[in-house]
């Protein structure tokens, strides 16, 4: 019998570790509007921006690669 649905993703492509972020109503609207303006889901928009910012931070501050500073 043929299986229905999407085939399973490779282990390296699976996303399963959510990060919870809280926004004010105004911040949430800004994020949602920006994502919509680029034709992206909010999750994809936030993920893309967070990863880009992390890469920039890593390039400009080599110590940031060691984890979060308190």
Whole-prediction pTM value? 0.69
Where in the chain are the domains?
Answer: 22-63
The CA dihedral of 11, 16, 17, 22, to the nearest 10 degrees, is 150
Which residues are CB-neighbours of 57 under 8 A, at least 6 positions away?
A: 64
Tens of pLDDT, residues 20-43: 999 999 999 999 999 999 999 999
Tens of pLDDT, residues 41-70: 999 999 999 999 999 998 887 665 555 554
Q: Helix, strand or coil for residue 42?
A: helix
């Amino acid at each position: 019998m043929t299986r229905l649905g999407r085939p399973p993703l490779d282990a390296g492509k699976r996303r399963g570790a959510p990060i919870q972020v809280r926004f004010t109503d105004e911040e949430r609207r800004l994020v949602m509007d920006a994502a919509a303006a680029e034709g992206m889901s909010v999750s994809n928009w936030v993920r893309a921006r967070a990863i880009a910012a992390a890469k920039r931070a890593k390039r400009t501050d080599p110590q940031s690669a060691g984890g979060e500073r308190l």
